[in-house]
Amino acid sequence: MSVAPLRLVSRRTVELTIDGQSVRAPEGATILQAAQSVGIATPTLCYLETLTPVNACRVCVVEVEGSRVLVPACARKVEPNMVVHTNSARVRHSRRMVLELLASSVDLSYAPAEVQGYLAEYGAQPERYGQPAAAPDRDHAHAGHHTPVADGYAATVAQPVKVDNDLYVRDYARCILCYKCVEACGVDAQNTFAIAVAGRGFEARISTEFNHILPDSACVYCGNCIGVCPTGALMFKSEHDMRAAGAWDESRQTRTDTICPYCGVGCTLQLHVQDNRIVKVTSPQDNDVTSGHLCVKGRFGWQFVQNRGDGRGGGVAAP
Ligand code: SF4
Ligand code: SF4
Ligand code: FES
């Protein structure tokens, strides 16, 4: 999904073949980076340049001659004389299966157009798994006790949206278990470890410790998990409420970069504004200071801009 620029990770280079093209890539580069350097696009879901690859989604798999199994392009390093096929029938079949299984069990309606495009590109037909089935209470599922669905129905991760604070909501019916939020909350950014994966198999889900509500968890509301979530499973409450009211309209939104006023770090904030109101705040992932990450003040502390009291600041969007 994201584009990985080919950075010089070593002066030494490796020569390999990708889809019949001879490619020279820096030693230590991934197949994904080497392929992108010659314009070969590879779909990704769990990969983000600012996070450690976790190989969770397997949508980026490619065929490497001599390898028994398909390998994840986002994590596998290039090797001399490697011969890679990124678009073989086996690769396309595998990607289609991954996308079908995801789309049949997860609500991808807020996923970016790029992800919707993957479904079309690989001919995924999630509807062939059946009607979406209601899911049992996933938060209390026991590992090893999967509840089968009736014939003609597809198992899903459907569940109510978790709204337990004024800053952001967790809508795990949209979660593809890419682990990005866990990494951002953990060693890759925030080092807070408020969320992790609970359960196993189909019952695996993102959870706070003992499934506590966020205000009772270790969460510090940095929102870095929201910043990396690729499906809208984690969302500003302001956006969630506007979508529920039918008022969310990205075509009418502007994005303006500014510097956070709260401290000397000088994080770049990107203000998303609709109808003269800030509706959410992000930071560019390619920004050297933030790598897309912020703290609670920069991410959520912008109401003072609108609380002018002189009638010129507009209303105050949630939170
Ligand atoms: S808001 Fe920050 S601390 Fe809370 S779960 Fe997300 S990444 Fe972790
Ligand atoms: S909540 Fe979002 S970022 Fe976290 S695992 Fe699910 S899809 Fe990935
Ligand atoms: S993008 Fe490579 S495994 Fe998910």
Q: Is residue 161 part of a domain?
A: no
Residue 179 has what DSSP assignment? -
In which residue are the tokens 């956006």 written?
Answer: 239
Q: Token digits for 315?
A: 């209303």
Is the pTM higher than 0.85? The answer reads yes
pLDDT of residue 316: 42
Q: Is residue 206 part of a domain?
A: yes
Pocket of ligand 2 (CB under 6 A): 175-181, 206, 228-231, 233-234
Among 33, 42, 58, 77, say which to mutate for ligand 3: greatest number of ligand atoms within 8 Å of CB.
Answer: 58
Q: Is residue 181 part of a domain?
A: yes
What span, in angstroms and rounded, lies between the C-alpha atoms of 170 and 163? 7
Residue 78 has what DSSP assignment? P
Q: Is residue 48 part of a domain?
A: yes
Task: Supply the CATH number for residue 118's domain.
Answer: 3.10.20.740
pLDDT of residue 109: 95
Q: Is 117 exposed, middle or buried (0-12, 13-18, 19+ CB in 10 A)?
A: exposed
Residue 275 has what DSSP assignment? T
Q: 3-class DSSP state for residue 86? A: coil
| Backbone φ, ψ for residue 103 (5° rounding) | -70, -20
Q: Of 87, 106, 132, which one is at a domain's C-terminal end?
A: 132
78, 62 Cβ separation under 8 angstroms: no
Kindly state the helix (H) or strand (E) to which residue 90 belongs, with its residue range.
helix 89-105
What span, in angstroms and rounded, lies between the C-alpha atoms of 315 and 207? 34
pLDDT of residue 7: 53
213, 316 Cβ separation under 8 angstroms: no
Rg of the chain taking only CA atoms, in angstroms: 21
**Residue 140 bridge partners (DSSP):** none
In which residue are the tokens 């093209």 written?
Answer: 21
**Cβ neighbour number for residue 254 with a 10 Å cutoff:** 9
Q: What is the span of the domain harbouring residue 223?
A: 168-306
Among 168, 179, 222, 226, say which to mutate for ligand 2: greatest number of ligand atoms within 8 Å of CB.
Answer: 179
Task: Supply the CATH number for residue 199's domain.
Answer: 2.20.25.90
pLDDT of residue 48: 96
Give the total number of structural domains in the chain.
2
- Whether 174 and 108 share a structural domain: no
What span, in angstroms and rounded, lies between the C-alpha atoms of 157 and 132? 9
- Whether 84 and 173 share a structural domain: no
pLDDT of residue 136: 79
Nearest Cα to Cα of residue 317 among 255, 237, 244, 252? 237
Q: Is residue 262 part of a domain?
A: yes
Q: Is residue 200 part of a domain?
A: yes
**Residue 83 bridge partners (DSSP):** 17
Nearest Cα to Cα of residue 102 among 135, 125, 86? 125
One digit per residue, the tens of pLDDT, for the chain of length 319 reads 444 445 555 579 999 999 999 999 999 999 999 999 999 999 999 999 999 999 999 999 999 999 999 999 999 999 999 999 999 999 999 999 999 999 999 999 999 999 999 999 999 999 999 999 988 788 888 777 777 899 999 999 999 999 999 999 999 999 999 999 999 999 999 999 999 999 888 889 999 999 999 999 999 999 999 999 999 999 999 999 999 999 999 999 999 999 999 999 999 999 999 999 999 999 999 999 999 999 999 999 998 888 666 555 444 444 4
Atom number of ligand 1 nearest to Cα 192: 3
Please tell me the distance between residue 56's alpha carbon and the centre of ligand 3 in angstroms. 6
- Whether 176 and 121 share a structural domain: no
What span, in angstroms and rounded, lies between the C-alpha atoms of 40 and 123? 19
Q: Of 132, 160, 177, which one is at a domain's C-terminal end?
A: 132
- Whether 4 and 68 share a structural domain: yes
- Whether 11 and 119 share a structural domain: yes
Q: Which ligand has an atom closest to residue 178 CA? A: 2
pLDDT of residue 66: 97
